[in-house]
């Protein structure tokens, strides 16, 4: 019989591999297996819920992803990613005030989170608050923001545009189409601003 700790480690490794190759549903099955195993600490469970949420977010299951990220934050309030991810989920469903609240939480808990600042500015842009967004973006310049950060932020923003375009193509709901269109405009604005500010 396989040691439960080794099994959980191997299962997580395989699930992470599936997640990184965009096989979100298969990854989700393995993360759920680990969650249901009863063998993980609360911080270990938080990691599993967080990764499960990431897959659901990529599948555009924003409400389900939101529940997973909230569970991860509840289990381990000091984990970095869920606050930013919760904000992204709220932004994706048009709840910009809640999105901003969670981007701020992410920054409060992890001062060096450049991506949270960028997402906060994006949520402000989507509320047509360009002046406020620019003020937030200025804060990014005062934080640690190197080439690796820039490339990571640009990659995430390019993914956001891709997912928003897919959402427009698949949706029959005009509100969803409008939110996705606003998101594309805001994200493209952020990409242009990042490239201009950090050449």
User: Within this chain, do residues 54 and 130 fall inside the same structural domain, yes or no?
Assistant: no
In this structure, is residue 122 part of a structural domain?
A: yes
Residue 2: inside a domain, yes or no?
yes
Phi/psi for 3 (5° steps) reads -60, 130
**Residue 19 confidence (pLDDT):** 67
**What distance in Å separates the CA atoms of residue 11 and residue 13, rounded to the nearest whole number?**
5
Collect all residues with Cβ–Cβ distance below 8 Å to 37 and sequence separation of at least 6.
4, 7, 8
- Within a domain: 129: yes
Same domain, 74 and 121: no
Q: Is 80 exceeded by the pLDDT of residue 23? A: no
Shared domain check, 197 and 113? yes
Looking at per-residue confidence, does 177 or 24 come out higher?
177
Residue 51 has what pLDDT?
85
Please check whether residues 189 and 120 belong to one and the same domain. Answer: yes
The pLDDT tens digits of the residues spanning 138-175 come to 776 655 455 556 777 777 778 878 878 888 888 887 87
Of 48-57, 80-89, 151-160, 186-195, give the range with the top mean pLDDT. 48-57
The tens digit of pLDDT for each residue in 65-91 reads: 999 999 988 888 777 667 888 888 998
Q: Given this model, what pLDDT does residue 144 score? A: 47
Handedness of CA 142, 143, 146, 151 (dihedral sign): negative
CATH number for the domain that contains residue 58: 1.25.40.10
The pLDDT assigned to 135 comes to 83
Average per-residue pLDDT for the chain:
77
Residue 87 lies in a domain: no
- State yes or no: pLDDT of 109 exceeds 90: no
Q: Does residue 100 fall inside a structural domain?
A: no
Query: Into how many domains does the chain fold?
Result: 2
Residues 71 and 113 in one domain: no
What range defines the domain where residue 182 resides? 109-199
Is residue 103 one of the residues assigned to a domain? no
Residue 174 is predicted with a pLDDT of 80
Are 22 and 71 in a shared domain? yes
Question: In this structure, is residue 102 part of a structural domain?
Answer: no
**Looking at the domain assignment, is residue 52 inside a domain?**
yes
């Amino acid at each position: 019989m396989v040691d439960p700790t080794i099994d959980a480690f191997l299962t997580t490794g395989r699930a992470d591999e599936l997640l990184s190759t965009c096989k979100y549903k298969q990854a989700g099955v393995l993360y759920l297996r680990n969650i249901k195993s009863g063998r993980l600490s609360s911080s270990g469970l938080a990691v599993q819920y967080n990764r499960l949420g990431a897959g659901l977010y990529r599948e555009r299951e924003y409400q389900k992803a939101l529940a997973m990220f909230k569970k991860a934050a509840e289990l381990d309030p000091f984990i970095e990613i869920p606050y930013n991810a919760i904000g992204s989920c709220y932004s994706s469903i048009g709840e910009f005030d809640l999105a901003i609240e969670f981007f701020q939480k992410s920054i409060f808990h992890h001062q060096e989170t450049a991506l949270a600042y960028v997402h906060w500015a994006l949520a402000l842009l989507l509320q047509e608050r360009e002046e406020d967004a620019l003020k937030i973006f200025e804060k990014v310049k005062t934080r640690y923001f190197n080439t690796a950060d820039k490339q990571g932020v640009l990659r995430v923003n390019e993914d956001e545009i891709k997912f928003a375009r897919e959402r427009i193509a698949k949706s029959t709901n005009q509100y969803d189409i409008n939110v996705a269109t606003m998101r594309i405009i805001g994200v493209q604005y952020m990409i242009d601003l990042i490239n201009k500010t950090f050449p």
